[in-house]
Structures are given as structure tokens and as C-alpha cells.
Amino acid sequence: MKVIRTSTKYPHGNDVFHIEILYPGEVLGGQDTGFYTIGRIDHANFRPPGLVPMHKHQDDEILSYMRSGRQTHKDTAGNREVIHASKLMLMNAGSGVSHEERAEEDLEMLQIFMRPSKNGLVPKVQFHAFETIYSENHWRLVAGNDDAAPLQLRVATNIFDVRLSENKVIPVPATPDVFNFLYCFAGSVTVEEALLSKGDCIIFDHEQPKIQAVITSDLVLFQIKTDAVYSDSGMFSGNQRKS
């Protein structure tokens, strides 16, 4: 197991738009700033009258994982949608798509930059309204390349979430041949002997460690196929050491 602490992130922005950028591969000491299919993860806080102006993405798969607040999304594919904690968005940028975001309420979210299986795919933007904001004490498939995934990710990775109540214990889904990457969005949990707090991550392979909530906690789990084929040259998700 390898723990990545939130203190290793790069802060960027101001009081209106502030992000903490995680390059997981950099922390692990490799030559790639990403970790297999995960390019980077931004933990963002955004408030009115904030506007992120129109900008381009290419060969990134970007999950907007909102936990509070609302923002208006516009893109060059013709979409204009309000997204929030129960209506999430996945931009499959492919050969290129541009977008802007405007904060309507104070919000907190993850902007997750995943890597596509290959470059130059057809761009598309997906939205999905979930029945509830939180999945209480069981893993929920949010996005992935599984046919059952509400938001379709074009690389061999599935992303789950859970809200784990205080003192509750949950096993990791028993999936063969994956790397598990667990992100603590809020709260505090123990994973075997490791204590994770808000913004911390832990990586482990095939084992199924016991995850127990110290307090009510929101968790995001990435299950990455060990044989996943991916591009590391995306505009934001790519290996920044090659830039």
C-alpha cells in the first residue's frame, strides 16, 4: 500500500476559484506525473461570481464530481446545463471540445482528468441525474467502461463512490487484475493501519483491506485494469514531464 497525503498537492487560484492539484505519479517518484489511467485530480472550491472562461480540452476524459453547489456549463458541442451534486458530467474531449463554467452557488468538487484509450476519439459530453446525492454505505458505479456505468469512460477503469457512516466498515469490490486508488473526499477513514483524512489517497493492488469510517466520510474509488491501454499525451491528463 502507498498513501498519498493532501499536503503533496499544488495549490492554485484565489478566493473565488481555488484548486489543489494532485499529480499522483509525481508523488510516487516515477517518470509519469499520472498514475496509469489517472492523469490528475483537482479538488476545487468555486464561488459566485466566478467564471472559468471558454477553454479547450483534447484527449482528456474529465469527470466533474460535484458534492455541493451548482454551476452552469456551456460547451462548443451545443450543451448548456446546470450541474450539481446529483447531476454529474463527463466530458470525453477526444479530438477537441471547449467549455466554460460559471458558479451559481458555492461549490466543492473533484475535477478528475482521466486518460483515454487512444487519441483523436469523437468528442462528446455526457450528463447523468442520479436519484440521490449520496450512496449510503454501499459502492455506487458512477463512471467507467462497464456497460452498466451511468457515465461512459473510454478507458479500462471504473469509478465508484460511497458515503460511509461513522464506524461502518466496507470491503473493496472484489475485482481481479486491478489497481485500486482510493480518494478521501471528506471525513476520515482507516484502511488497515493507515489513517486517511480529507484529500488523502491510498493505492493498493488486489487485496481487500477493511475500510472503516472514523466519522461519516465520502470516498471515491478507482479500479484500474492492470492491462489498461491509455494515452499519456492528453492536454491536461497527459504526462506533464513530456510537456
Q: Convert the pLDDT of each residue in 196-239 to its tens digit.
A: 999 999 999 867 788 999 999 999 999 999 999 999 999 999 99
SS3 164: strand
Q: Convert the pLDDT of each residue in 39-97 to its tens digit.
A: 999 999 999 999 999 999 999 999 999 999 999 999 999 999 999 999 999 999 999 99
**Architecture label for domain 2-231:** Sandwich (2.60)
The predicted model scores a pTM of 0.96
**How do the domains of the chain map onto residue ranges?**
2-231
**CA distance linking residue 229 with residue 39, whole number of Å:** 13
The phi and psi torsions of 206 (rounded to 5 degrees) equal -90, -10
